[in-house]
Amino acid sequence: MRGRRGDRMTINIQEHMAINVCPGPIRPIRQISDYFPRRGPGPEGGGGGGGEAPTHLAPLALAPPAALLGANTPEDGAEVDGYDSDDGTALGTLEFDLLYDRASCTLHCSILRAKGLKPMDFNGLADPYVKLHLLPGACKANKLKTKTQRNTLNPVWNEDLTYSGITDEDITHKVLRIAVCDEDKLSHNEFIGEIRVPLRRLKPCQKKHFNICLERQVPLASPSSMSAALRGISCYLKELEQAEQGPGLLEERGRILLSLSYNSRRRGLLVGILRCAHLAAMDVNGYSDPYVKTYLRPDVDKKSKHKTCVKKKTLNPEFNEEFFYEIELSTLATKTLEVTVWDYDIGKSNDFIGGVSLGPGARGEARKHWSDCLQQPDAALERWHTLTSELPPAAGALSLA
């Protein structure tokens, strides 16, 4: 049917252009000739020379959206889900060595190099450094860190980082977290990738070499962005995790090296405060001003207190001081030695860092150290002990002392 001259023909633009306008990713548009029969130049195509128009053309039928977008496109779902294929390959690899020295109770971590790190800066490079944490435990108390290598995706560190006070018990249940980060002077440092190594994979006095791909850290939602229900679930899961790890789980605040010896000639206990390692930072500068106090409980006369000097601005102080308690061996078996570490503050109450109790009521290494001292008079026994966040009842009232 022909319209009159001057009248406009209303044609659907979708039908005219033969395109799909449904929302979704942008795809190549089919040409309009794809919707008409193709007639070749040969005799079968009718393109020989007559050029007659075909007697019948099927009406234009638009393909369904699935056909236009492609029916077999398994990669489409990945794009919708926001999957980044680079996550598993472009974070880079880290090469390092680990050595557990049982004799000196040390864990030596040699950070060698990284390769193919993910670019983090606008120049396509990064300023990477490596930081170590022992888990579970207080992250700030046992963090070690390498130097920063500037403008490189293949940094070489060759640095040795050492954890002191590592015992066989730590080797069986602790995990070493090795994280690679990008240092940014104008904003927060950015996380690149991490590796977690169970220390039980190590054999004493045997260096083990690792060359492992970095993995992505799964960030947790901040409490402010979580709903009340999610916060409740988060607290429940945290309590459940602590219950599974052990009923008396306490926060670790560092390590202390103690020496115990009962002197049979002087008839007394000689307590040596040798050093501390990886103490928790209590001051705003990231350090502490630690000192150590000892008590022999029960202390009826309140004369058993001894105190070391204060070491300024350090998390790994060396004291090398000895205290003597005059007491019979039979009476000593009923006593408990309380050792607490404090952060000295001027003009206000000193901050409690951590403590440990050695005696018949102690557990684990603390009880064994105490019993060995009683059974081996005149022998100086040095052992590392873990400082926990548990404050002895009598020590709280003496924090100003």
| Chain segment 285-321, per-residue pLDDT in tens | 888 999 999 999 888 777 889 999 999 999 999 999 9
- Average pLDDT for the chain: 76
- Residue 203 sits in the same domain as residue 120: yes
Question: Token pair for residue 31?
Answer: 């040409």
- The answer as to whether 68 is a domain residue is no
Q: Which SS3 state, helix, strand or coil, does residue 396 take?
A: helix
- The answer as to whether 69 is a domain residue is no
pLDDT value of residue 348? 81
pLDDT value of residue 344? 93
- The answer as to whether 166 is a domain residue is yes
Question: Token pair for residue 9?
Answer: 């023909």
- The answer as to whether 13 is a domain residue is no
- Residue 256 sits in the same domain as residue 146: no
- Residue 204 sits in the same domain as residue 260: no
- Residue 293 sits in the same domain as residue 378: yes
Mean pLDDT for 41-54 is 46
Please say which residue of 214, 238, 266 terminates a domain. Answer: 214
- Residue 208 sits in the same domain as residue 282: no
In the DSSP assignment, the letter for residue 262 is E
Please say which residue of 214, 243, 267 terminates a domain. Answer: 214
pLDDT value of residue 81? 32
- The answer as to whether 133 is a domain residue is yes
User: Is it the case that residue 22 has pLDDT exceeding 70?
Assistant: no
pTM score, whole prediction: 0.59
Q: How many helices (H) and strands (E) would you count in the chain?
A: 7, 16
181-202 per-position pLDDT tens digit: 999 888 889 999 999 999 999 9
8 Å CB contact between 260 and 369: yes
Question: Token pair for residue 251?
Answer: 């926060």
CA–CA gap between residue 382 and residue 116 (Å, rounded): 45
pLDDT value of residue 253? 85
Structural domain of 351: 252-388
- The answer as to whether 186 is a domain residue is yes
CATH number at residue 164: 2.60.40.150
User: Is it the case that residue 23 has pLDDT exceeding 70?
Assistant: no
Among left, alpha and beta (phi > 0; psi -120 to 50; other), residue 245 is alpha
pLDDT value of residue 11? 58
CA–CA gap between residue 256 and residue 384 (Å, rounded): 6
User: Is it the case that residue 396 has pLDDT exceeding 50?
Assistant: no
Question: Token pair for residue 324?
Answer: 């003597």
| Residue listed under structure tokens 């052992």 | 383
Question: Token pair for residue 2?
Answer: 């022909």
Where does 42-88 show beta strands of DSSP type E? none
221-261 per-position pLDDT tens digit: 444 444 555 555 545 445 444 444 444 456 788 899 999 99
Number of domains making up the chain:
2
Return the top range by mean pLDDT from 48-57, 73-82, 110-119, 133-142. Answer: 110-119
CA–CA gap between residue 71 and residue 239 (Å, rounded): 48
- Residue 187 sits in the same domain as residue 269: no
CA–CA gap between residue 337 and residue 314 (Å, rounded): 25
Q: What are phi and psi of 225, to 5 degrees?
A: -95, 0
- Residue 275 sits in the same domain as residue 201: no
Please say which residue of 192, 214, 236 terminates a domain. Answer: 214
